[in-house]
Chains A and B, each alone.
Chain A
Amino acid sequence: MCLAIPGKVIEINESKAAIEVGNVKREVFIQLVPDVKLGDYVLVHAGCAIQIVDEEEALKTLDILKELAEDEIC
């Protein structure tokens, strides 16, 4: 039930935003992420953006995973 997916914010209109998930566009409420900007990715649950995806942290996590994989090869 706590399933949530990341979508890209393509329009903002007061308490609502349009997001794109793959090729699908849908409307979500954004009261819980007042700092959201166009182009941000938000995590959407039950029609509501519950958090802004931190792109820098996502890249850092991927870097750590890649380093672990490279250590393995050496």
Chain B
Amino acid sequence: MKFVEEFRNEELAKSLVKRLQEFSRLNINIMEVCGTYTMSIFRYGIRDILPKNINLISGPGCPVCVTPQSYIDKALELASRKDVIITTFGDMMRVPGKKGSLLKKKADGADVRIVYSPMDAIKIAENNPNKKVIFLSVGFETTTPMTAITAIEAKKRNVNNLLFLTAHKIVPPAMEALVQDKELKLDGFLLPGHVSAIIGTKPYEFLSEKHNIPAVVTGFEPTDILQGINTLINMIYKKEHRRTNEYKRIVRTDGNAVAIEYLDKVFDVVDTRWRGIGLIPNSGYIFNKKFEEFDALNHFQMEYEEYDGSPGCKCGEILKGKITPLQCPLFKKACTPENPIGSCMVSSEGSCAAFYRYHSV
């Protein structure tokens, strides 16, 4: 595949690994805030080839993982209604709520359908005029513009039985919350590549300007990640605090202006709750006044409750990078991909799922 294979070149990767092995003096903590990086780093064995002093921490980079359990419980409550069809991305199906998962609900007879895009939910709504079709709209800035387009399209077509249960997250404020956590000693960030494709690199200015932390946005192939780490470590050694873009084939400084316009047109920015982290100011999107007719919570007069995790699950500390999954007493015992207790084990991009699949103990 073009723009993929070239960035998997073995010789280029070897040269980058050799360069990285020269950095062995300082203990360095790098956080990546993107589940797709987490998976790529494990898949290509990047943790194993880095010098031991470079510690890669997986941050809250997986939208499914950071969605509070109270959201899942609302989705399950709605799925129980006879007049509702739930539509969702596949990754949400197995996330455990207090009483089962969407997969269990479906097995019990609820109408829960997996879709590839929120636009598919419009078709389902048009074909089922007597039902309320609810799309579970979970995601970061990468995914949310498509929900905006879907809501605009539904309004245009007068589809009045389509609703969205939203848990849209905005990534930079969560990063700022982590930087301010004194227990975490972060030396640099690998910025989320595809979130940055939408928002650009300016929203991370606070890292260098307020907190003196360098950051690199990079791609997802092995040479991209190795080069990203290489650039970041060079900056850490030289005590430089810049933002660098190593993913220029996709990420522009100002992001995707059209996508940002769609977000501004349809959503308001609000404080929102992140699993394991709690309420973070200005870190979420909800429908604005013009589009609030699409909000499932408004429609059914419901509210999210203030809890976010499963009892005993250490997802919160794992998402903040304070412990690795190996330090959670449930990992590989009570909590496995077949029987997940926390969302980090459910999503294929969650830290626990990645450690389970790739890390031999």
Contact = CB atoms under 8 A, between A and B. Distances in A.
Interface string A1-42: 111111010000000000001100000010111100000010
Interface string B4-27: 101101011011101100000000
Interface residues of A, number: 36
Contact of A32 (B1, B194, B223, B259): B259
Nearest to B143: A46
Which applies to chain B's interface (DSSP): helix, strand, loop or mixed? helix
B350 to A, nearest CB: 10
A21 B6 contact: no
Contact of A21 (B1, B15, B16, B18): B1
A33 B198 CA distance: 11
B89 interface: yes
Contacts of A64: 227
Given A22-B1, A41-B2, A41-B3, A2 B117 contact: no
A53 B35 contact: no
Interface string A43-56: 10111101101110
A29 B248 contact: no
Contact of B146 (A22, A29, A53, A65): A29
Contacts of B112: none
Contacts of B91: 1
Tell which of A6, A21, A32, A60 has the most Cβ of chain B within 10 Å.
Answer: A32
Contacts of B89: 1, 46
A34 B342 CA distance: 40
A47 B146 contact: yes
Contacts, number: 135
B62 A46 contact: no
Contacts of A60: 248
Nearest to B140: A2
Q: How large is the interface on B (under 10, 10 to 19, 20 to 34, 35 or more residues)?
A: 35 or more
A43 B259 CA distance: 14
Given A1-B91, A68-B19, A46 B117 contact: yes
B44 to A, nearest CB: 15
A34 B140 CA distance: 22
Contact of B249 (A8, A34, A61): A61
A51 B250 contact: yes
Contacts of A29: 117, 119, 146, 149
A62 B6 contact: yes
Contacts of A43: 194, 197, 250
A15 B7 CA distance: 31
Interface string B91-119: 10000000000000000000000001111
B36 A2 contact: yes
Interface in B12-54: 12, 14-16, 18-19, 34-36
A54 B248 contact: yes
B291 interface: no
Interface string B186-225: 0000001111011000000000000000000000000100
A2 B35 contact: yes
Contacts of B34: 2
B258 A1 contact: no
A61 B250 CA distance: 11
Given A46-B118, A48-B146, A61-B227, 9 more contacts: A2-B36, A2-B63, A2-B139, A2-B193, A6-B1, A45-B142, A50-B194, A50-B197, A50-B259
10 contacts: A1-B89, A2-B36, A2-B193, A32-B262, A47-B119, A50-B194, A60-B248, A62-B12, A68-B227, A69-B15
Q: Which 5 A-B pairs have the closest CB atoms?
A: A47-B117, A69-B15, A58-B249, A57-B248, A2-B194
